[in-house]
Structure 1
Amino acid sequence: MQAAVKKIGIGIGADAEKVINSACRVNLPCEIVCYCRTGTAKVPSGHPRVRLAESTTPESALVADLMAGTIDVAVRGTLPANATLQALKGAAGVDHLERIALLETAGGKKFLFAPVGIDEGWTVADKLALIKKGRAIARRIGLPEKVGVLSGGRFGDVGRHPRVDRSMADAELVAKLGDAVHYEILIEDAIESCGLIIAPDGISGNLIFRTLALLGAGHGHGAPVVNIDRIFVDTSRAQPDYTNALLLAASLLE
């Protein structure tokens, strides 16, 4: 019996053409369903694997189809973050979302990075959970499973401030319990051999992500949500295209 064709859903809010072009350009053996408001997008001829799912509330439709199994994986695309992620939290029955981002430096080095939300990854237990889930993603997409843990200073900085000391102590514990390496504040060293890098907390992680992707000529390719039982890849509306996010979503299905 022939296996069913996998379906990837991607959302369209603003910039419909950018999402449609990405769906048409990516070379995947999947059907790509583009969720949009009625009459706001059109698929050019010659792309039978790309189709529209029109709705008055595409963010709710995308999440509902993901949870029902109508699609196998969802990508936020250009749908608004607040409405889409609120719908996802409600449908999945969680009070917050944990994400691990796939980033790329200006020089082309790809790595996974977490936490990227300001309310994520604040405790040792949170970071250990991110390491476990991040290693699984690294294996799926062919990145090294070595994990680098960052802290707020170098060993010589101990005693300069209690928050720095606590950050370094937490990082030492996370590295020991998570079979990882504590790179102190030296992210430039961690990137050389690590497929997953763990920031000291959600605020610094969000700042690192935004600095790389929005100021530093790097790229964010999407951030899988790792604390729900469905595959959902969060994205930014600032991304130039969504081909890598769709490839990431497809690789998580394998």
Structure 2
Amino acid sequence: MKRIAIGVGENENIIQACHIFKEKHPKTDIQLIYRDEDLVKAVLDNKIDGVVRGSLPASNIMKELKEHYPNMSRATYVNGDEYEFLLTPVGIDEGTSVEERYEMAMHCVEFLERLGKTPKIAVLAEGREDDFGRGKEVSNSIKESRKLTKLIKENTDVEVKNYFILIEKAINDKCNIIIAPNGRVGNIIFRSLVLLNSWPSYGAVTFGIDRTYIDTSRDQSIEGYVRSLVLVHDLADE
């Protein structure tokens, strides 16, 4: 029997999601966790097959987990219009350097290849290509997007293109890995697509860790938490 642990905070959509999930997977043992420290213990427990953050707050949990896994990062697994993609970075303090975003991109590539999918990367920036010079932050973001695109091209055979700020073109081109210019922008994209516009999401896959851990928003819907439970259940088969 599989054992899955999930965090329960103020958003009790998670409770209803567990009931719905159990109807389809009655042989899976669901353990409800109400404290941050107990969720961290569950992630580190070899007797538990997978963990979903659920509606517990992320900050303390991520801080504790990074003490055990300092290179840990996340990518939100989103269902687009008839296709899926990974969006990273999504933590507001993640993806602060080109090198860090490169490692995140490589984790996404490995994950998709493990699922038998062909990676197609879109690199984003905080402006169009011809916006260079319109402020220091914009210019620096464009410069870094060029550097990241070049780094990926030089070190992999994966298809990659710099879309600058044109995320709509990246989505129309069915890119299945989208690299935001930093975690704050990635978090806003996630909230705009998933929480505001109701694009389905499985939650965030966690990389740089030898455990199956799905990070989720505290504001997710019942259906969103069900999808996260399905994902952690399926990944536990890997």
The TM-score with structure 2 as length reference comes to 0.83
Structural RMSD (CA): 2.4
Structure number with higher relative contact order (C-alpha < 8 Å, ≥ 6 residues apart): 2
State which of 156, 176, 180 in structure 2 corresponds to 1:199.
Answer: 180
Kept in 1, the 8 Å contact 2:8–2:55? The answer is: yes
Q: How does 1:110-189 map to 2 (within 5 A)?
A: 110-141=84-115, 143-179=117-153, 180-189=160-169
**How far apart are 1:114 and its partner, in Å?**
0.5
Match of 1:250 in 2: 233
Kept in 2, the 8 Å contact 1:26–1:246? The answer is: no
Kept in 1, the 8 Å contact 2:76–2:202? The answer is: yes
Q: How does 1:59-74 map to 2 (within 5 A)?
A: 59-74=36-51
Aligned length: 226
Q: How does 1:1-254 map to 2 (within 5 A)?
A: 5-14=1-10, 15=12, 17-27=15-25, 31-36=28-33, 57=35, 59-90=36-67, 92=68, 94=70, 97-105=72-80, 107-141=81-115, 143-179=117-153, 180-191=160-171, 192-241=173-222, 242-253=225-236, 254=238
Cα deviation 1:31-84 (Å, max 9, x = unaligned):
3322235xxxxxxxxxxxxxxxxxxx4x33332233130112211112333443
Structure with more helix by fraction: 2
**How far apart are 1:97 and its partner, in Å?**
4.7
**How far apart are 1:211 and its partner, in Å?**
1.4
Larger radius of gyration: 1
Identity, % of aligned positions: 35
| TM-aligned CA distance change 1:148 to 1:214, over 3 Å | same
Corresponding letter in the other structure for 1:65: A
| TM-aligned CA distance change 1:73 to 1:17, over 3 Å | closer
| TM-aligned CA distance change 1:186 to 1:131, over 3 Å | same
Kept in 2, the 8 Å contact 1:140–1:251? The answer is: no
The TM-score with structure 1 as length reference comes to 0.78
